[in-house]
Chain A
Amino acid sequence: DIQMTQSPSTLSASVGDRVTITCRASQRISSWLAWYQQKPGKAPKLLIYKASSLESGVPSRLSGSGSGTDFTLTISSLQPDDFATYFCQQYNSYPWTFGQGTKVEIK
């Protein structure tokens, strides 16, 4: 199985900060990576697919980059609605696997 390693596991930031979350795959996955936002008790929300494609309706302050094994999710100016947990997922090969998540907290 492809292991997905996210860092950091927790991130403390303030409104307006630029934040970056990284995801590393244990094998090359081309650009077949998605990013999701999860809030307690809510359905996970797709943010980014194919490493850098923004899902419809997702604010442009979010962006994704990377290919191969190293990927990043960047929020250019953190907003109150962005405090949540983020996780990555590879869908290059089966079984699909996920990162362990990054919780973005209010500093």
Chain B
Amino acid sequence: QVQLQESGPGLVKPSETLSLTCTVSGGSVSSGNSYWSWIRQPPGKGLEWIGYIYYTGSTNYNPSLKSRVTISVDTSKNQFSLKLTSVTAADTAVYFCARSEGGSYLVTDYWGQGTLVTVSS
């Protein structure tokens, strides 16, 4: 069974860069049908898809965040990462990493537990 675990600072200052890593176990980030996503949920609000990466490095980002987001993958460590620049209080959220699988249409089938990141000085 695939398991994902988010890690990174729980507190980030405004205008700085949020950096998180997701470690995958029970599966490989290099799996041919798998795409690796980041999704967030601000307190008391709904979920927002941030973007995903394929093991080749190909990415797809939510246009609402595209100018500030970079997702990367490290196949040697079986990890993928999120960087979000110029953060504000509006970026305070629980951040989830997840696996999405399929062909033309990808279903997100495994999620991490999520990690709360607070943006505050």
Report A's interface with B, CB cutoff 8 A: 32, 34, 41-46, 49-50, 55, 87, 89, 91-92, 94-101
Contacts and interface: CB of A to CB of B under 8 A. Distances in A.
Report which residue of A50, A91, A92 has the largest number of chain B beta carbons within 10 angstroms of its beta carbon: A91
B96 interface: yes
B49 A97 contact: yes
7 contacts: A34-B108, A43-B96, A46-B107, A50-B105, A94-B60, A96-B108, A98-B49
Interface of B: 4, 45-49, 60, 62-64, 96, 100, 105-114
B107 A95 contact: no
Given A96-B49, A99-B46, A42 B109 contact: no
A63 B54 CA distance: 31
Given A43-B111, A44-B111, A101-B46, A91 B64 contact: no
A65 B47 CA distance: 22
Given A96-B49, A98-B48, A41 B113 contact: yes
A34 B101 CA distance: 13
A50 B114 CA distance: 25
Nearest to B65: A95
Nearest to B109: A46
A56 to B, nearest CB: 10
A96 B47 CA distance: 10
Contacts of B64: 95
A96 B96 CA distance: 15
B46 A91 contact: no
A17 to B, nearest CB: 25
A98 B108 CA distance: 12
B108 A89 contact: yes
B47 A98 contact: yes
